[in-house]
């Protein structure tokens, strides 16, 4: 089992100064994660999503981190693959360059970037995003394996051209797809790419999603594979805050999760900006649950799918508490089928001190618990 950290660069009460600081804080956490024995970091790509995600140029962030580290893997989790966000050949070029310079440490995930806020900024046709993501993965897989890229698809016609440089890893860096619904899990399995799965609803939901993924893998005939290099890795999000004071860790973590729910609800359904209570630090579980459920209810009223679908109920039972609490939760995720635990630590209201202490506790206690068991 692998352990990683994912970064959104979330920001409560944004100002320019705080935005600059939170990005520097994410770099500090990423470099520290290597020292603490984490296997990988992931960085999202979102655009114009104030509060929710300020990482609009993950290729720069990941390069900056790669230059300051030696062993930790560097993951795009994910690149927005619709063509007006990023042309697939440019993705292949940039990713190969980073893979080369990092010594073969890159992982490349794909996603739709599907909010109105983002697609309107770049003129993306929302009806084409699923098809464009799949075609982009197909083009990238071919660009990294063929001497010259020649591609004649339903949406793009390219070639023949060499795509340079070639990545360090052979035949290429592992490919992944962001998966928040059963349909995308099936798509990932049939394309032969790893699944990056939101895990807010808890281990039972993860077990169901894993069964969908495995069934699709078992039933695929290979006709939709995007590469000869098949990746069946199942990576699961795990919100976590771990401190010596377990009750305090839970208060900090659940408040951060509430901020996450409200900020994602705003951009995926106009559910209102994160409220003053969340920024100021209200931390009663009942109040948080009610606020998050209101976000979800507004999304349903507008017939907008909740993203991720696993947030349909506000579940605060994650790896919040002491290191022992985190170990118990990770064990449940492992039994549910997780190949990788993606730690979500940097939520918008969580202070840097709590983030760094959480990473330390994972590195000194949680990860070694599983490593020593050979898991």
Q: How many CA atoms lie within 13 A of 276 on its CB side?
A: 0
* Per-residue pLDDT tens over the stretch 171-222: 999 999 999 899 999 999 999 999 999 878 889 999 999 999 999 999 999 9
Structure token pair of residue 96: 């190969």
- The residue written with tokens 């860096």 in the block is 173
Rounded-to-integer distance, Cα 326 and Cα 49, Å: 30
Query: Residue 114 has what pLDDT?
Result: 76
Q: Is the pLDDT of residue 22 over 60?
A: yes
What percentage of the chain has pLDDT greater than the value 90? 79
Query: Residue 261 has what pLDDT?
Result: 84
Confidence of residue 159 (pLDDT cuts 50, 70, 90): confident
Of 152, 238, 154, 137, the residue nearest 190 (C-alpha): 137
Per-residue pLDDT, averaged over 264-272, amounts to 69
Q: Does residue 216 contact residue 297 with C-beta atoms inside 8 Å?
A: no
Contacts of 255 (CB under 8 A, 6+ apart): 278, 281, 282, 283, 288, 349
Query: Residue 314 has what pLDDT?
Result: 65
In terms of C-beta density within 10 A (0-12 exposed, 13-18 middle, 19 or more buried), how is residue 44 classed?
buried
Q: CATH number of 2-247+318-371: 2.40.30.10, 3.20.20.30, 3.30.930.10, 3.40.367.20?
A: 3.20.20.30
Per-residue pLDDT, averaged over 115-141, amounts to 96
CA distances from 275 to 44, 266, 280, 306 (A): 24, 11, 9, 19
Rounded-to-integer distance, Cα 284 and Cα 299, Å: 23
CA distances from 270 to 97, 112, 171 (A): 38, 19, 43
Query: Residue 134 has what pLDDT?
Result: 98
Rounded-to-integer distance, Cα 201 and Cα 132, Å: 29
Of 160, 153, 114, 111, the residue nearest 133 (C-alpha): 111
Structure token pair of residue 12: 């409560």
φ, ψ dihedrals at 16, nearest 5°:
-60, -45
Of 317, 171, 174, 200, the residue nearest 265 (C-alpha): 200
* Per-residue pLDDT tens over the stretch 291-338: 455 544 544 444 434 343 333 346 889 999 999 999 999 999 999 999
Q: Is the pLDDT of residue 270 over 70?
A: no
Confidence of residue 132 (pLDDT cuts 50, 70, 90): very high
Using a cut of 0.85, tell me whether the model's pTM lies above it: yes
Rounded-to-integer distance, Cα 207 and Cα 201, Å: 11
Q: Is the pLDDT of residue 167 over 50?
A: yes
Rounded to 10 degrees, the C-alpha dihedral 106/109/110/115 comes to -110
Query: Residue 199 has what pLDDT?
Result: 76
Q: Does residue 260 contact residue 200 with C-beta atoms inside 8 Å?
A: no
Query: Residue 289 has what pLDDT?
Result: 52
């Amino acid at each position: 089992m692998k352990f990683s950290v994912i970064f959104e660069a979330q920001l409560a009460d944004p100002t320019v100064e705080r935005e600059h600081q939170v990005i520097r804080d994410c770099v500090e956490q990423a470099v520290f994660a290597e020292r603490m024995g984490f296997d990988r970091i992931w960085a999202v790509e979102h655009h114009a999503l104030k509060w929710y995600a300020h990482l609009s140029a993950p290729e720069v962030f990941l390069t900056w981190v790669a230059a300051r580290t030696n062993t930790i893997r560097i993951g795009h989790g994910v690149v927005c693959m619709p063509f007006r966000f990023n042309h697939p050949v440019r993705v292949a070029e940039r990713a190969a360059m980073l893979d080369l310079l990092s010594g073969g440490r890159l992982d490349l995930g794909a996603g739709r970037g599907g909010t109105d806020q983002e697609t309107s900024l770049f003129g993306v046709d929302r009806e084409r995003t699923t098809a464009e993501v799949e075609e982009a993965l197909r083009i990238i897989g071919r660009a990294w394996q063929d001497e010259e890229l020649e591609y004649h698809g339903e949406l793009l016609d390219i070639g023949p051209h060499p795509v340079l440089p070639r990545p360090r890893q052979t035949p290429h860096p592992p490919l992944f797809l962001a998966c928040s619904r059963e349909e995308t899990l099936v798509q990932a399995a049939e394309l032969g790419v790893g699944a990056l799965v939101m895990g807010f609803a808890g281990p039972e939901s993860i077990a169901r999603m894993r069964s969908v993924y495995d069934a699709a893998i078992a039933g695929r005939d290979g006709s939709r594979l995007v590469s000869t290099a098949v990746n069946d890795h199942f990576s699961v999000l795990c919100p976590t805050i771990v401190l010596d004071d377990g009750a305090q860790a839970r208060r900090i973590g659940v408040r951060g999760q509430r901020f996450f729910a409200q900020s994602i609800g705003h951009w995926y359904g106009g559910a209102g900006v994160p409220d003053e209570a969340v920024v100021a630090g209200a931390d009663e579980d009942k109040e948080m649950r009610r606020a998050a459920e209101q976000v979800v209810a507004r999304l349903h009223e507008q017939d907008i799918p909740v993203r991720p679908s696993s947030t349909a109920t506000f579940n605060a039972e994650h790896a919040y508490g002491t290191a022992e609490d985190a170990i118990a939760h990770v064990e449940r995720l492992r039994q549910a089928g997780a190949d990788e635990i993606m730690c979500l630590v940097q939520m918008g209201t969580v202070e840097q001190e709590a983030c760094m202490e959480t990473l330390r506790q994972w590195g000194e206690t949680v990860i070694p618990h599983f490593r020593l068991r050979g898991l």
